């Protein structure tokens, strides 16, 4: 197990984060955008765990922190979806392009 270096985890997290970022910024469907945000959060989780195992001071802090993140992410997804539902009821669309009420 030790043969896999830290950088591999970090690259994986980086790739995951970039995919998530790309999705969050380009996809038109709000549901996909939410899923992309989850991807980014998970990239962070990987980082946390990897550093906890292979960092300068190994310990459990990172793992525990990632548990928190997962919990918060779940809550956030729930709230996000709820907002999405409310929006859909009002505007009959989940298309991000059409949601520009912040402009006004």
Partner 1 sequence: MQNAWLIPLLPLLSFILLLLFGKKLKEASAYAGIGATLLSLMLAAAVMLGQWGGESYKAEGVWLSIGKHAVTMGYEINPLNALMLVIVTLVSFLVHVYSKSYMRGDDRFHVFFAYLGLFTFAMLGLVLSPNLLQVYMFWELVGLGSFLLIGYYYFKPEAKAAAKKAFIMTRIGDVGLFIGIILLYWQAGSFEYDEIFKAIADGTISSDMITLIAILIFVGAVGKSGQLPLHTWLPDAMEGPTPVSALIHAATMVAAGVYLVAAMYPLFEASSAAMTTVAVVGGITAIFAASIGLMQKDIKRVLAYSTVSQLGYMMLALGSGGYTAGVFHLMTHAFFKALLFLAAGSVIHAVHTQNIEEMGGLWRKLKITAPLFLIGALSISGFPLFSGFFSKDEILMATYGDGRYGLFVLAVLAAFFTAFYMFRLFFMVFAGSPSQEHGKVGESDGPMILPMAVLGVLAVLAGYLNTPWFGTFLADYLSHGPVRFAAEGEHGPIWIPILATAVSLAGILLAYLMYGKKKLSRNWLSRSLPSLSTIVYRKYYVDEAYDATVVRGTTGFSCLWSYVDRYLVEGAVNGTVSLIQWLGKRGSYMYDGQVQRIGAVAVAGLVIILLFFAAAGGYFS
Please give the residue ranges that form the binding site for partner 1 (CB under 8 A): 21, 24-26, 33, 96-97, 99-104
Q: How far is the CB of 4 from partner 1 (least distance, A)?
A: 26
40 CB neighbour count, 10 Å cutoff: 19
CA-to-CA separations, 17 to 2, 24, 26, 83, 100, in angstroms, rounded: 24, 10, 14, 24, 26
Decide whether 34 or 52 has the Cβ nearer to partner 1: 34
- C-alpha gyration radius of the chain: 17
Compare residues 12 and 87 and give the one whose CB is closer to partner 1: 87
Instruction: Between 26 and 63, name the residue whose CB sits nearer to partner 1.
Output: 26
């Amino acid at each position: 197990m030790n043969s896999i270096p830290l950088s591999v985890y970090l690259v994986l997290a980086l790739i995951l984060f970039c995919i998530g970022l790309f999705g969050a910024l380009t996809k038109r469907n709000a549901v996909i955008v939410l899923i992309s945000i989850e991807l980014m959060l998970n990239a962070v989780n990987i980082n946390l765990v990897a550093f906890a195992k292979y960092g300068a001071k190994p310990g459990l802090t990172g793992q525990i922190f990632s548990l928190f993140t997962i919990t918060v992410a779940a809550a956030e997804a729930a709230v996000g979806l709820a907002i999405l539902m409310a929006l859909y009821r009002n505007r009959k669309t989940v298309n991000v392009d059409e949601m520009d009420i912040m402009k006004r």
